[in-house]
Amino acid sequence: MRSSPKDMASKNDQAILNSIFNPLQGLDGRCDDEAIFSGSDENEIETDAVREAKLLEIEGVKSAEQGQLQDAINIFTKAIQSAPSRPSGYNNRAQALRLIGNDADALVDLNNALNLSQKKGQVARQALCQRGMIYRKEGKDEEATEDFKEAAKLGSEFARSQIVEMNPYAALCNKMLHDVFNKLQRGECD
C-alpha cells in the first residue's frame, strides 16, 4: 500500500504543504482573514449616517454575492454618500469594481479608503491587499510588495503569502516542492 504525502507528514508539515499548494489559506487551513467585502473597524463612532451606510453596505454585499455587481456598486455609492468619511464603503465599492474589471476606478477608491483609514485597521488591511493585487496584475511588483508588507504588518496572512510567492527564491523552492509532491502522488520515486 502506497503512502500519500499526508500520511507521511505531521500536522505542522501538512499545514505548511497546504500553504504552498493553497496560498490563499493561512497555515491553519482557514481562508484568509480578508473577507471579500469589509465591515467596520472597532474604533468607529456610531452615528445615524454610519448606521445607514452599514445597512447599505450589507445590502450591497448581498447584491454582489448574487452576481448583481452593478447594483452593488450603486448601493456602495449610496453608502459612501451617506458617510463619505467612512473608508469601508470605498473599499467595498473597489472590490465590486475589480470584479467587473474596472481596476482604474477601483484604485481611486482604494486610495480613498487608505487615506481615510490612515492605513490602520481591517479596512486598510483589505484595501492594501486589493491594491497590491491590482499592482501585481499590472506588473508593478515593487509597489505590490510594499502594499503586501504593510498589510502583513496589519495581520494579513494573505499578504504574507503574497510576499513569499513574489520572492523569486521562494517561488523556485515552491515549484521544486510542488514537482516533488506531484511525483510522490503519482508513485514516481527517484
Count how many domains the chain has: 1
Residue spans of beta strands (DSSP E) within 3-152: none
Task: Provide the pLDDT confidence category of residue 6 given band limits of 50, 70 and 90.
Answer: very low
Please give the average per-residue pLDDT across 99-112, as a whole number. 97
CATH number for 120: 1.25.40.10
Does residue 66 form part of some domain? yes
* pTM of the predicted protein model: 0.71
pLDDT at 61 over 50: yes
For helices 141-153 and 121-137, angle between their N-to-C axes, nearest 10 degrees: 160
Q: What's the burial of 108, exposed, middle or buried (CB within 10 Å: 0-12/13-18/19+)?
A: middle
Does residue 161 form part of some domain? no
Does residue 94 form part of some domain? yes
Contact 59, 144 (CB under 8 A): no
Please give the average per-residue pLDDT across 131-135, as a whole number. 96
Does residue 78 form part of some domain? yes
Q: What pLDDT score was predicted for residue 10?
A: 53
Does residue 51 form part of some domain? yes
Does residue 52 form part of some domain? yes
The domain of 124 spans 46-156
